[in-house]
Amino acid sequence: MLRANKGAAVQKPDSHNPDVTLITQTSPMATPTHGGRAKCLQRLVRLNLPVPRTVSLSFDMVHRIASGDMPDMDALVSAFPDGALLCVRPSSEDPDWGGPGAILNIGMNDDRYAEMSKTHGPEAAGELYLRFVQSFAIHVARLDPDMFEDLEDCSAEGLAIALRTYEDEAEEPFPQSPAEQLTQVLRSMARAWEGTSARLLRQAKGAPLDAGLGLVVQEMALGLGQGECGSGVLQLVNSTSGQPQVTGRYLSQSQGREALLQNTESLYLVRDPRGPSLEEAEPEIFAKLKAHAELMRKRLRAEMQIEFTLVGGEVHILDGVRVQRSARAAVRIAVRLATDNIISRQEAVMRIEPRAISELLHRQVAPDAPRDVIGVGIAASPGAATGRIVFSAAEAQASHARNEPCILVRRETSPEDIRGMHAAAGVLTERGGMTSHAAVIGRGLGTPCVVGAARIKLDQQRNTITSQSGKKFRAGDIITLDGTLGQILAGAPDTVEASLDDAFQTLMAWADDERDISIRANADTPADAATARNFAAQGIGLCRTEHMFFEADRITPMREMIFADTPEDRQAALAVLLPMQRADFSELFRIMEGLPVVIRLFDPPLHEFLPTDRAGVRDLAEALNLPVSDVTRRVEAMGEYNPMLGLRGVRLGITLPEIYDMQARAIFEATLDTSAEGDPVVPEIMLPLVSAKREVELVRGRIDAVAAAVRAERGKDFTYRLGVMVETPRACLRAGDIVPHSHFLSFGTNDLTQMTYGLSRDDAGRFMSDYVQQGVFSEDPFHVLDIEGVGELLAIGAERARMVQRDVTLSICGEHGGNPASIAFCRAVGMDYVSCSPFRVPVARLAAAQLAI
Ligand code: PEP
Ligand code: MG
C-alpha cells in the first residue's frame, strides 16, 4: 500500500493545481519549481523504484503558505491512505542551500497510538508518538527545547507527561487532527525558510535572493515493527577516495537518519554493533538495495546515496541525494561515470569545479580535523603547512637545514626573504594582499601562504605573535597555515596528501581536448619550470628575471652594479652576473624543450636590492670596501617617495641600459648554446612597465645591436621575438602605437589594477576585507579581474592592437591569469593565452575547457 503505483487509481490532491502534485509515473515533470528533492523523487518513481506515496508542493505554494494561504488540506491528506503517518521534507533548488529539517510521524495522535499499540506493540507506538510530540514541540510550536529534548519514557505514563508538558508550555492541547498537524508543520517550515537568518545563511552559500523552497509530503515507511525493520543509507563509492566501495549505515528498529547518528565502526549494523552486518544477515535485501543504487547511478547519471527503510523485510526508497564527496572523489566519480559511458567526457569535465582542483595539488587540512583558529588573513597560496614558528629568513634556513619544517612569520616579505621562503613550509605575513611579494612568491613556489593577517599582533622585538583572543605564540611553537581558507591554526591538525592520480590525469587530458585558449605558466626558476611542465603548461608566459638575483652569490655583484659610479664599473659588475644569467636561461630552455619562454627584463626599483638593516649595510660596506656611513648615505639617496611609480621597468632600460644589454646577451648566448643541443630556441623578450612608444623603440634598437653582436661573435644565426608588457593605463590606450614594434603584448594585470584604481597592491590587504564586506568592491580586484574598469582598459588595448596588427599574440600574465572568471573575460576579448602561477595551471586548463564546451 505504501508504493506510488502506476498512477491509474491514485487520487490527485488537486488535479488542476500544478502547485500541489502527486508524484506518479505519469504525472508531468513539473518539478523545476518544486525543487531538487521533488525532481529526484519523481525520477525514482519513474524508474519504478519502491518510493512511498509522495506529494510535492511548489515554491509558489510554499511561499503562499508562509503568508497564511493554505492549500486544500483535506484534499492533501486524502491523497494518502487512511491513517497513514506522513513526513514533510524540504526541497530547495540546490540541496547545499539547506532548509528546515524534516518532520516525521505527522498523524500520530491518541487514536493512532491506541491502534498501533495493538498492531506494532505499545513500545513502538509509544516511541513514534513521543518522537513526534518532541519534534512538533521544538520545531513547529517552537517551545523551549530543554523541556522536551530529554524525554525518553515512551510508556503510557511517559506519553501523558510529554503531552501535559506540551499543553502547559503551549497553553493549548496537542493537536489531534492530522490535517491540523500537517497545516502547522507546513506553515512552520515555510516560515523558517523565509526568516532572515536562514536567508543570510543560504545567500552565503550562493543562493539568489529569491531562492524558493518546495516541500514534499511523503507517506512514512515505518522502520519499527515485526520482521526486519529499520532505516539506513547506502552508496556505491567511498566519499573520500571516490573508489567503488559499497558503504552505508543501517540500524534495525530506527527511522529517519537515526542510523547515521550511531557512533559505530560497523557499517551494516543490525541491532547490535557486534552482530552481523546487513549484508551477512539479509543478503537478499542487501542485493536489492545495491541493485537499486546501481540503477539510480545509471539513470540519474550520478553517484547517489539512497535513503531507505525496511518494513517487515520489504525495501522502501525514501530519497536519493548526491553522494557527499571530497575534491579527489569528485574527479574519480566523474571520470568513472564517463568511462562507464553513463555521461560524456565533456560532461565529466563540466562537473568539476575548477577551484576544487587546486585542493588536489596541495596537502590540505583534513576536512574533519578539529581547528583551533587563532587568526585569519587572505588565502594567498593554497594548501596546508605545519611547522615551528620562525621570525627571520635566516632562522627558516637553519630550520630547513635541521630538517625541521617551519612557518616563516614576517610583517611583510621583501626580496631578501626569498631564501627563507624557499626553506619554509609556509609563510605568514601581517601585511599584504593577493599580489604582495609574499603572495606572488608563495603561489609560485606552491608554498601555503596567508597574508594580511592584520588582527594577529606581531611583536618583532620580542618575537611573538598574539592571537585576537590574547594567546601568545613564540618562536618554536607549532602552528599550521591553511592557505586555502586563509586560516592560522594552533598545533598540527591532521592533513590529507596531494593527489595527482590517474583519474586527475585523465580528466585533465579530456579538458585539454576541449580547450581553445593556451595556458602558460609564470615561472622564474628551474623548479618552477619543472612544475609548469609537470602540469602541462604550454610554455612560460612570464619569467621575472629579478628573482634570479636574490641568490647569495648574486646579490653582492648586483649591489656592486647598483653602486657603480661609471658605466665601466657597472659593466664590470654585470660581467660577473652574465654567465650566471646565461646558465639560468639555458636551464629554462632545456627544461621547456622548445616550448616558448617569455623572459621579462629587469623590472623592480633598484633600491629593493639594497640592504634594509644594519647588518646588511655592514656586509655591503665590507664588500665594497667603503665606510658604513657612505653606504648608508647612498642607500638613502636611492630611496624614492613612490618606488612602484619610480625608476623601474623599462625606465631602467632607458637610463641604465647596460643591465638590459647584459640580459639580452645572456638570453642570446643561451639560445645558441641550447639550440646546438636540439631544436632551435626562439626566445621571447619582454619589456616591463612600458607607457610610450619611444621607450620600445630605444630599447629595441639596443637589443637588436646586442643580437647582431652575438651573431657576429658566434658566427651563428637565431631569431627572437620582442614583446611589451601592457601594464600601465597609457600603454592600453596607446596599444595601437606600441604594437608595430612588438611581436606580442602581454597584459600585466597586477600593475594595471594597481594603477587603474590608484591602489597600492602591497597595502591594499590592510583594508580590502572591509571594502569587500561593505560591498564597495564585490571582490578583491587583485584576485578577480575588475571587468568593468581594468577589463575595459584590457579590451581597449586588445582591440587597438589588433586593429593595427591582426596577428599580434595577446595574453595576460598578471595573477588573474589563473582565475576562472578572469579567464572567461580574456577568452572573450580574443587573447591567445593566459599565463599563471604553475600551481594554478591545472585550474586554468579546466576552467578554459569548460568555457569552450
Ligand atoms: C603584473 O604587473 O601584472 C605582472 C605580471 O608583473 P609583476 O607582478 O611582476 O609586477
Ligand atoms: Mg608588473
**Pairing mode of beta strands 684-687, 597-600:** parallel
Question: Per DSSP, which regions of 486-634 are E strands?
Answer: 487-490, 495-496, 518-522, 540-544, 597-600
Give dist(CA 452, CA 438) in Å, integer.
10
Asked if residue 55 lies in contact with residue 84, where contact means CB atoms within 8 angstroms, the answer is no
Higher pLDDT, 734 or 403: 734
b/e per residue, 198-228, with b = 16+ CB within 10 A? beeebeeeebeeebbbbbbbbbbbbbbbeeb
Asked if residue 410 lies in contact with residue 391, where contact means CB atoms within 8 angstroms, the answer is yes
| pLDDT surpasses 60 at 15 | no
Give dist(CA 729, CA 725) in Å, integer.
11
CATH 3.10.105.10 fits 519-548+584-605+646-852, yes or no: no
User: Which residue has the least CA distance to atom 6 on ligand 1?
Assistant: 748
Cell numbers found for residue 185:
508543520
pLDDT-derived band at 225, boundaries 50, 70, 90 = confident
- Looking at residue 726, its pLDDT comes to 98
- Looking at residue 2, its pLDDT comes to 39
Distances, alpha carbon 429 to alpha carbons 363, 448, 492, 829, in Å: 20, 12, 19, 36
Amino acid identity, position 216:
V
Cell numbers found for residue 292:
537499486
Asked if residue 743 lies in contact with residue 723, where contact means CB atoms within 8 angstroms, the answer is yes
Q: Which atom of ligand 1 is nearest to the CA of 544?
A: 9
3-state secondary structure of 502: helix
The average pLDDT across 182-209 equals: 90
Amino acid identity, position 16:
H
Asked if residue 250 lies in contact with residue 196, where contact means CB atoms within 8 angstroms, the answer is no
Give residues (CB < 6 A) around ligand 1: 542, 544, 603, 727, 748-751, 813-814
Tell how far the Cα of 415 is from the centroid of ligand 1, in angstroms: 15
Q: Which of 437, 547, 741, 743 is catalytic?
A: 437
Is 154 among the catalytic positions? Answer: no
Tell how far the Cα of 78 is from the centroid of ligand 1, in angstroms: 69
CATH 3.20.20.220 fits 20-109+175-219, yes or no: no
- Looking at residue 9, its pLDDT comes to 33
User: Which residue has the least CA distance to atom 8 on ligand 1?
Assistant: 750
Tell how far the Cα of 437 is from the centroid of ligand 1, in angstroms: 10
Positive or negative: CA dihedral 848, 851, 852, 853:
positive
Q: Which atom of ligand 1 is nearest to the CA of 440?
A: 8
Ligand 1 pocket check: which of 543, 750, 752, 756 to mutate, most ligand atoms within 8 Å of Cβ? 750
Tell how far the Cα of 544 is from the centroid of ligand 1, in angstroms: 9
Ligand 1 pocket check: which of 813, 826, 835 to mutate, most ligand atoms within 8 Å of Cβ? 813
Give dist(CA 240, CA 725) in Å, integer.
44
pTM: 0.82
Distances, alpha carbon 258 to alpha carbons 221, 253, 254, 608, in Å: 14, 10, 6, 62
| pLDDT surpasses 80 at 270 | no
* Residue 749 marked as a ligand binder: yes
pLDDT-derived band at 74, boundaries 50, 70, 90 = confident
Q: Which atom of ligand 1 is nearest to the CA of 542?
A: 5
Higher pLDDT, 766 or 65: 65
| pLDDT surpasses 80 at 319 | yes
Q: Which positions ≥6 away from 78 have C-beta within 8 Å?
A: 11, 13
Tell how far the Cα of 750 is from the centroid of ligand 2, in angstroms: 6
Distances, alpha carbon 587 to alpha carbons 305, 492, 667, 674, in Å: 51, 38, 11, 9
Beta-bridge partners for 235: 247
b/e per residue, 444-475, with b = 16+ CB within 10 A? bbbbbbbbbbbebebeeeebbbbbeeeeebeb
- Looking at residue 269, its pLDDT comes to 59
pLDDT-derived band at 262, boundaries 50, 70, 90 = low
Ligand 1 pocket check: which of 520, 651, 725 to mutate, most ligand atoms within 8 Å of Cβ? 725
Per CATH, the architecture of 364-495 is what?
Answer: 3-Layer(bba) Sandwich (3.50)
Give dist(CA 417, CA 655) in Å, integer.
28
3-state secondary structure of 816: helix
Cα-Cα end-to-end distance for the chain: 47
Give dist(CA 842, CA 533) in Å, integer.
11
User: Which residue has the least CA distance to atom 9 on ligand 1?
Assistant: 544
pLDDT-derived band at 437, boundaries 50, 70, 90 = confident
List strands edge to edge, sheet with 449-451: 373-376, 487-490, 478-482, 384-390, 406-410, 426-429, 449-451, 378-381
User: Which residue has the least CA distance to atom 10 on ligand 1?
Assistant: 751
Tell how far the Cα of 702 is from the centroid of ligand 1, in angstroms: 24
**Pairing mode of beta strands 487-490, 478-482:** antiparallel
Beta-bridge partners for 52: 3
Q: Which of 406, 543, 813, 836 is catalytic?
A: 813
User: Which residue has the least CA distance to atom 5 on ligand 1?
Assistant: 814
Q: Which atom of ligand 1 is nearest to the CA of 813?
A: 5
Up-side HSE of residue 311: CA atoms within 13 Å toward CB?
14
- Looking at residue 7, its pLDDT comes to 34
Tell how far the Cα of 540 is from the centroid of ligand 1, in angstroms: 14
For the chain, give every residue range classified as CATH 3.20.20.60: 519-548+584-605+646-852
Beta-bridge partners for 215: 57, 90
CATH topology of domain 230-325: D-amino Acid Aminotransferase; Chain A, domain 1 (3.30.470)
Up-side HSE of residue 722: CA atoms within 13 Å toward CB?
20
* Residue 600 marked as a ligand binder: yes
pLDDT in tens, 786-819: 999 999 999 999 999 999 999 999 999 998 999 9
Q: Which of 156-165, 563-572, 688-697 has the lowest mean pLDDT?
A: 563-572
b/e per residue, 75-105, with b = 16+ CB within 10 A? bbbebbeeebbbbbbbbbbeeebbbbbbbbb
- Looking at residue 491, its pLDDT comes to 95
- Looking at residue 1, its pLDDT comes to 33
Tell how far the Cα of 436 is from the centroid of ligand 2, in angstroms: 11
Tell how far the Cα of 542 is from the centroid of ligand 2, in angstroms: 10
Residue (of 813, 731, 821, 783) closest to 382 by Cα position: 783
Asked if residue 220 lies in contact with residue 251, where contact means CB atoms within 8 angstroms, the answer is no
Give dist(CA 593, CA 710) in Å, integer.
22
Alpha helices in 593-646, H assignment, sequence order: 614-624, 628-637
pLDDT in tens, 79-125: 999 989 999 999 998 888 888 999 999 999 999 999 999 988 898 89
* Residue 751 marked as a ligand binder: yes
* Residue 474 marked as a ligand binder: no
- Looking at residue 422, its pLDDT comes to 87
3-state secondary structure of 8: coil
3-state secondary structure of 200: helix
3-state secondary structure of 662: helix
* Residue 531 marked as a ligand binder: no
Positive or negative: CA dihedral 617, 619, 623, 629:
positive
Asked if residue 75 lies in contact with residue 61, where contact means CB atoms within 8 angstroms, the answer is no
Greatest C-alpha distance within the chain: 107
Give dist(CA 153, CA 147) in Å, integer.
14
Give dist(CA 712, CA 721) in Å, integer.
19
Q: Which positions ≥6 away from 641 have C-beta within 8 Å?
A: none
Beta-bridge partners for 88: 103, 217
Give dist(CA 105, CA 85) in Å, integer.
5
Is 813 among the catalytic positions? Answer: yes
Q: Which positions ≥6 away from 176 have C-beta within 8 Å?
A: 109, 110, 111
Residue (of 457, 455, 454) closest to 465 by Cα position: 457
Tell how far the Cα of 409 is from the centroid of ligand 2, in angstroms: 25
Q: Which atom of ligand 1 is nearest to the CA of 746?
A: 5
Q: Which positions ≥6 away from 183 have C-beta within 8 Å?
A: 70, 73
* Residue 671 marked as a ligand binder: no
Please give the helix or strand (H or E) that residue 251 lies within, else none: strand 244-252
Amino acid identity, position 589:
F
Give dist(CA 599, CA 601) in Å, integer.
6
For the chain, give every residue range classified as CATH 3.30.470.20: 230-325
pLDDT in tens, 392-428: 999 999 998 888 899 999 998 887 788 889 889 999 9
pLDDT-derived band at 445, boundaries 50, 70, 90 = confident
